[in-house]
């Protein structure tokens, strides 16, 4: 009885485990389908795949799971380091010059093209300036602050000119100039001048009297007022003149050629294109890692978190899991399940045999007692 019970318990448990999968397809006797065919899992395969897909989406691969896995501080730090390494490897530590990069992109003679663009920019600026000043006076174009400063500088210039005149006429050169002018004046008067020159003798006494008067005249506040008024009057007239009329006499073509040449020399395009990025921008990697890389990472992570749930819905992960489970051969599914729980299933079979044997022994004892 113990042996029979153990066999019954072990075989029935083993058969029950097998019937989870076997048979894969329903069995028929005529038109009558044999009960318990197909096995439990093949029979409920559609429900199983649907439930498995729902479980994966709702509990395993949720948006929060992806966020915690991919959008954390550790991943952010790794991403920044990776981007900096790539920038250093492919850009800042590269021996390629700008010309090499441009040639790799199919661009040749870029120095000539860039200089032509610079010339176009200069021309555009000239045309824009001409359009802006057309029909406008200096007064209209000059800022108020400049006007006040110009008037201040104007009177300072008048005072400076008078001071320089005083210093000059007080010097020996100034005295000599007065004497020369006086001699020329007397000689220009013909006989009358010669007569005065004979009467007066040398011009030194006249120079001694004229020199202080000139200096006194230049020191006079009225002289400053007179010269300042004249200068301000002329300045006021100049402000009312149209700028484009004043510039008509200006040789723009020669000036523009000089400006273009100056811009090309300062730009030094050919020299710059024959250098590497590291030579042109020694601190580029440090600046980029501080100012650019964090912004890029912030933008990517922000957009990733924002679009994650929408992307998961578009992917239809639940449908993908269901499709994959449905397409999986039943033999492979059985192997997968048994490969995970083979020891547990064996223990269930052994436990069935043990319980069957124990029941057989217990049954035998009862039979012996009853006999």
Low-confidence winner among 20-24, 88-92, 125-129 (lowest mean pLDDT): 20-24
Q: Which residues lie across from 29 on neighbouring strands?
A: 32
Q: What pLDDT is recorded for position 303?
A: 81
Q: What pTM was estimated for this model as a whole? A: 0.48
Question: pLDDT digit string (tens) for 90-123?
Answer: 888 888 888 888 888 888 888 888 889 998 998 8
Question: pLDDT digit string (tens) for 230-275?
Answer: 998 988 888 888 888 877 777 777 888 888 898 888 888 888 888 8
Query: For residues 127 and 279, is the Cβ–Cβ distance under 8 A?
Result: no
Would you put residue 339 in left (φ > 0), alpha (ψ -120 to 50) or beta?
alpha
Give me the DSSP letters along 26-83: --EETTEEPTT-S-HHHHTHHHHHHHHHHHIIIIIS-HHHHHHHHSSHHHHHHHHHHH
Q: What pLDDT is recorded for position 100?
A: 86
Where does the pLDDT of residue 55 fall: very low under 50, low under 70, confident under 90, or very high at 90 and above? confident
Q: What pLDDT is recorded for position 161?
A: 92
Burial zone of 85 (CB within 10 Å; 0-12 exposed, 13-18 middle, 19+ buried): exposed
Give the Cα separation of 65 and 71 in Å (integer): 10
**Residue range 282-308: mean pLDDT, rounded:** 85
Q: What pLDDT is recorded for position 8?
A: 80
Give the Cα separation of 235 and 151 in Å (integer): 9
**Residue range 282-300: mean pLDDT, rounded:** 87
Q: Is the pLDDT of residue 197 over 60?
A: no
Q: Is the pLDDT of residue 65 over 70?
A: yes
User: What does the buried/exposed string (b/e) look like for 211-228 if buried means 16 or more CB atoms within 10 Å of the residue's CB?
Assistant: beebbeebeeeeebeebb
Backbone angles phi, psi at 35, to 5 degrees: -60, 155
Give the start-to-end residue ranges of the domains of the chain: 2-70+298-370, 137-241
334 vs 229, higher pLDDT: 229
């Amino acid at each position: 009885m113990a042996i029979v019970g153990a066999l019954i318990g072990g075989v029935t448990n083993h058969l029950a485990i097998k019937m989870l999968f076997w048979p894969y397809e329903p069995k028929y006797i005529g038109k009558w389908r044999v009960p318990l065919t197909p096995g439990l899992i093949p029979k409920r395969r559609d429900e199983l795949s649907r439930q498995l897909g729902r479980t994966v989406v709702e509990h395993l691969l949720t948006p929060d799971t992806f966020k915690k896995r991919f959008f954390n501080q550790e991943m952010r730090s790794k991403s920044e380091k990776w981007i900096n390494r790539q920038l250093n490897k492919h850009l800042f530590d590269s021996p390629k010059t700008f010309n090499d990069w441009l040639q790799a992109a199919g661009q040749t003679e870029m120095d000539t093209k860039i200089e032509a663009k610079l010339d176009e920019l200069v021309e555009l600026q000239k045309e824009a300036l001409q359009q802006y000043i057309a029909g406008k006076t200096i007064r209209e174009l000059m800022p108020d602050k400049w006007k006040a400063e110009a008037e201040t500088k104007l009177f300072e210039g008048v005072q400076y000119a008078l001071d320089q005149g005083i210093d000059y006429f007080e010097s020996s050169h100034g005295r000599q100039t007065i004497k020369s002018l006086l001699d020329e004046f007397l000689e220009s008067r013909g006989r009358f001048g010669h007569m005065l020159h004979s009467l007066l003798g040398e011009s030194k006494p006249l120079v001694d009297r004229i020199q202080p008067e000139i200096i006194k005249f230049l020191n006079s506040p009225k002289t400053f007022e007179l010269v300042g008024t004249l200068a301000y009057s002329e300045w006021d007239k100049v402000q009312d003149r149209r700028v484009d009329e004043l510039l008509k006499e200006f040789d723009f073509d020669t000036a523009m050629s000089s400006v273009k040449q100056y811009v090309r020399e300062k730009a030094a395009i050919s020299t710059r294109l024959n250098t590497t990025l590291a030579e042109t921008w020694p601190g580029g990697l440090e600046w980029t890692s501080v100012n650019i890389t964090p912004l890029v990472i912030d933008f990517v992570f922000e957009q990733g978190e924002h679009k994650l749930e929408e992307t998961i819905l578009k992917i239809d992960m639940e449908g993908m899991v269901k499709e994959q489970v449905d397409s999986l051969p039943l033999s492979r599914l059985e192997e997968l399940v048994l490969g995970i729980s083979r020891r547990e299933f064996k223990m269930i079979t052994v436990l069935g045999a043990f319980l069957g044997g124990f029941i057989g022994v217990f049954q035998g004892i009862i039979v012996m007692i009853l006999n």
